[in-house]
Amino acid sequence: MPRKPPTWDDYDNAVDQIILAPTDSDFLDQLIPVLKDAAVSNRTASLAQSLAQYAQEREGDIERIGLTKHEEFLGSVNQLQKVREGTVVLTSEILDLNQDIQTSTEKLAEQKQALVNTRGVQQNIKDVSNALKESLDILRALNNAHELIRKKKYYGALKSLDDLQNEHLVPIIQNKYATQYKLADLIQKSIPDSQKTISKAVMNDLNTWLYRIRETSQFLGEVAFFHTKERQTRQRERIENSTFLGNFKLNSSIELVFDENNDFDVIDNDEVQVDFTPLYEALHIHEALGQLDRFRADYAATRRQQKELLLPSTVDLLIDDHDASLRSLLEGIAGFAVIEKATMQRAPQLRSSIDVDELWDSMCQTAITLTTNALPAVTNAEALLKIKPIVGLFIQTMESWGYSISMMNSLQLTLFHKYAELLKRRFSEDFQEIVSTDDYMPMTINTPEDYEKVLSVSWIIQEQSPEELTYPCVLPFSQMYPLCCIDIRNLVNQFYFFSAADDHFQNSSVIDEMLRRSLDELLTEKVCQSLVERLSSQYLGQIVQILINLEHFENACHKVEQLLIDTRSSTSAGGPVTLTATEQFRNHKKTAEKRIFELVNSKIDDLVDTSDYDWTSTVKPLETSSYMVTLTQYLSNIMNSTLLGLPREIKELIYFDAIPHAANKILALPLSPDVKKINPHGVEAMSLDVEHLSAFVASLDNAFMLEQNLDELQQTVALMRLENHDEYFDVSTRNKKFGRVDANNALVLIEKLTQTVEPSRAAPLANFGSRFGLR
């Protein structure tokens, strides 16, 4: 590499160094750089001046030396002359060389300028090339981002824009003098639009995905229901193999452990697959854009709108397939809720449990409202038995996904109340028809098979074993009793059908209480009250049959109470079950008994009223009055026919009520204000009738106690037969013979009694009429 020539500010020193060079080559080596420097800097004249000055100085030195050393001077002059000649030659050569150097320098300067220009152009070209390359890189990155958008690779496109911004645009924009500044600034300003394009494209894809899963919701719910049914089947099979497992319901920890080998993904199976990629991509894109809060709000609003579109305005529970409309609704809700729960599990930052539960509660409330509004149109209880299982299946399915099912349990309770209402209405009509169409006659059984059928459905107090019976036989109750027993059993069974329709019903105790209350009301209002209303009948046989039926219904109520204890669910509170109807039947047995007493006594009153005694008859009576004969025959006959089916104690009570009533009625005859006088013939007529009545009572069972009811009547007749009533006024005699006679009545009768028998032409005819019960 050539050494750069030194730069000289003053050529005097340079000339000294050149002249003092020890050799010619050194002389030239030192001279040439000085000449080049003088030529380059256009200071040749300064160099020539320095050389001339040096020559003058040397000439002066020579002249001084010549004056002092002439010879040496002359020799030196000659030598100097030669030197001078050489110097002139050298000067001429130097001038030529300088001219050549100057010419070369100009060419070199021109070439250097051309080189500088060329290098400038080359640098410009290089700069332009680099700028174009960087611009192309920017455009290529931008095009790549848009290409990724077209290919729906939105996250890659967003990452590409981010890399473009960080690696290319930001460094250029920070340098305002950069060549690509305007392009970078323009592209930088377009990036928000590109990001918005990505966001919009992602949302379009997400909306398409949301639409598809909304359309898939019902089918997804159907698949979820099918899976739950399969679990129910497997659980029932396990219970058949081990009764202990019957203590554990579906979705219990034990059931889940047993079923863990039957893995089934509801949202990813052979029937349905839900791909969450669009959701993930949208979530990542908006998170990268810093728009997660807005995306979360938009997504929540969209899901709320989809929920509204999912739910119909009405539910029809009366179509051919009773649960089809409700099933579609619940399947749609189930599928929607499954997607929500799966979304929350996969993207907790997007969907919180509060958001999901809010939608769930809203859908459940709407389903409950729609179903409740449709229930009034349902008039068939069996329709609810078809509707209830789908509600139970929905509850069990959603319980397995961790949703609260309390609201849907309330819907089941609403369905049950409607079911109980329909059953009660139907059985109320049945009981009403049974009671109203009964013949109120003892039921006749013709064959042992018929007896076994009646025995299997009725609660019968068996006094004889079936083998001892002869057919045809007569049962004490009428046919309404076994028919009502059948309805009672059917009502119990149909009430528990509701909870047996599936193994998920959280309100079994409500069924127990509602069944008890419904049975109580039906037996009280439709059976007991209807029977009591018919006690107004004047037909004694019907009243007796009602009494017998009431007794059997009382016994049936005790059996039903035990039946309710045996059939009630394990969740119900323990203790006895008491029906108000039991007490009602027991109390109204007394009402029926009183009604029997009233009818018997009314008949006695009618017969006694036909007595038509001639209290002042002139003819002595020889036989009992016809009314008395008829009265005793009536009492005897009804006991052996109409009242035959009554319990013995009741029949005894009838006598205990009828005998004193008849005695009082007969006793009231002579006490009547219409009777002014009573002669011995009138007393005799009454005495014959009282003796006949006494003889009848003496022939009855418990005669000893019944006869006491005739004491007052008998003592009164004895008093009337006295010719001298002083005995009565004797206190000791009166207490002994007439202690049961009322003192006031005795005084009234004594005033009416007379021993005079006055002849009368009408007497024989009157006596004849009294004998035959004629008026």
Element (H, E) at 43: none
pLDDT, mean over the chain: 80
- pLDDT more than 90, % of the chain: 12
Q: Which residue has the tokens 């019907």?
A: 542
pLDDT at 768 over 60: no
Q: What is the mean pLDDT of residues 375-388?
A: 86
pLDDT band for position 369 (50/70/90)? very high
Instruction: Write down the domain spans for the chain.
Output: 11-148, 205-401, 420-595, 610-771
The strand pair at 443-445 and 473-475 is best described as: antiparallel
**pLDDT at res. 583:** 92
Beta carbons of 351 and 344 less than 8 angstroms apart:
yes
Q: Helix (H, G, I), strand (E, B), or coil: what is residue 678?
A: strand
* Continuous H helices in 311-445: 324-346, 353-374, 381-399, 406-437
pLDDT at 412 over 80: yes
**pLDDT at res. 171:** 61
Q: What is the mean pLDDT of residues 335-353?
A: 88
E-state strands within 114-244: none
Beta carbons of 179 and 131 less than 8 angstroms apart:
yes
Distance separating the N- and C-terminal Cα atoms of the chain: 179
**pLDDT at res. 224:** 86
Q: Which residue has the tokens 């009764």?
A: 243
Beta carbons of 144 and 160 less than 8 angstroms apart:
yes
Element (H, E) at 260: none
Q: Helix (H, G, I), strand (E, B), or coil: what is residue 158?
A: helix
In the numeric block, which tokens belong to residue 664? 């009082």
Q: Helix (H, G, I), strand (E, B), or coil: what is residue 464?
A: coil
**pLDDT at res. 505:** 64
Beta carbons of 710 and 694 less than 8 angstroms apart:
yes
In the numeric block, which tokens belong to residue 411? 């819907």
pLDDT at 771 over 60: no
- How is domain 420-595 classified at the CATH fold level? Tetracycline Repressor; domain 2 (1.10.357)
As separate numbers, helices (DSSP H) first and strands (DSSP E) second, the chain gives: 29, 2
**pLDDT at res. 361:** 92
pLDDT at 518 over 60: yes
**Which is higher by pLDDT, 335 or 101?**
335
pLDDT at 80 over 50: yes
pLDDT at 749 over 70: yes
pLDDT band for position 761 (50/70/90)? very low
pLDDT at 532 over 50: yes
**pLDDT at res. 217:** 84
**pLDDT at res. 2:** 44
**In this predicted model, what pLDDT tens digit does every residue of 630-662 receive, in sequence order?**
999 998 888 888 887 787 888 888 888 899 999
In the numeric block, which tokens belong to residue 624? 């009992």
**pLDDT at res. 258:** 59
Cα-based angle 376, 380, 383 (whole degrees, multiple of 5): 95
User: How far is residue 599 from each of residues 422, 603, 604, measured CA to CA in Å?
Assistant: 40, 6, 8
pLDDT at 91 over 80: no
Does the N-terminal peptide bond of residue 389 adopt cis geometry, omega within 30 degrees of 0? no
**Which is higher by pLDDT, 75 or 118?**
118
pTM above 0.75, yes or no: no
Contacts of 136 (CB under 8 A, 6+ apart): none
In the numeric block, which tokens belong to residue 552? 């059997």
**pLDDT at res. 273:** 82
Residue 285's closest CA among 298, 273, 274?
A: 298
- How is domain 610-771 classified at the CATH fold level? Methane Monooxygenase Hydroxylase; Chain G, domain 1 (1.20.58)
> What 8-state DSSP symbol labels residue 473?
E
pLDDT band for position 500 (50/70/90)? low
pLDDT band for position 483 (50/70/90)? very high
Q: What is the mean pLDDT of residues 115-135?
A: 76
pLDDT band for position 352 (50/70/90)? confident
**pLDDT at res. 538:** 87
Most confident of 12-21, 356-365, 572-581: 356-365
**pLDDT at res. 481:** 92
Distance CA(370)–CA(411), nearest Å, equals 11
Beta carbons of 142 and 187 less than 8 angstroms apart:
yes
Cα-based angle 363, 369, 373 (whole degrees, multiple of 5): 150
pLDDT band for position 169 (50/70/90)? low
**pLDDT at res. 362:** 92
Burial of 21 (0-12, 13-18, 19+ CB in 10 A): middle
Beta carbons of 711 and 740 less than 8 angstroms apart:
yes
pLDDT band for position 433 (50/70/90)? very high
**pLDDT at res. 174:** 54
Distance CA(631)–CA(606), nearest Å, equals 9
**pLDDT at res. 161:** 66
**pLDDT at res. 321:** 56
**In this predicted model, what pLDDT tens digit does every residue of 266-291 receive, in sequence order?**
887 888 888 888 888 888 877 777 88
Burial 75-84 (b: 16+ CB within 10 A, else e): ebbeebeeee
User: How far is residue 323 from each of residues 2, 218, 410, measured CA to CA in Å?
Assistant: 107, 15, 18
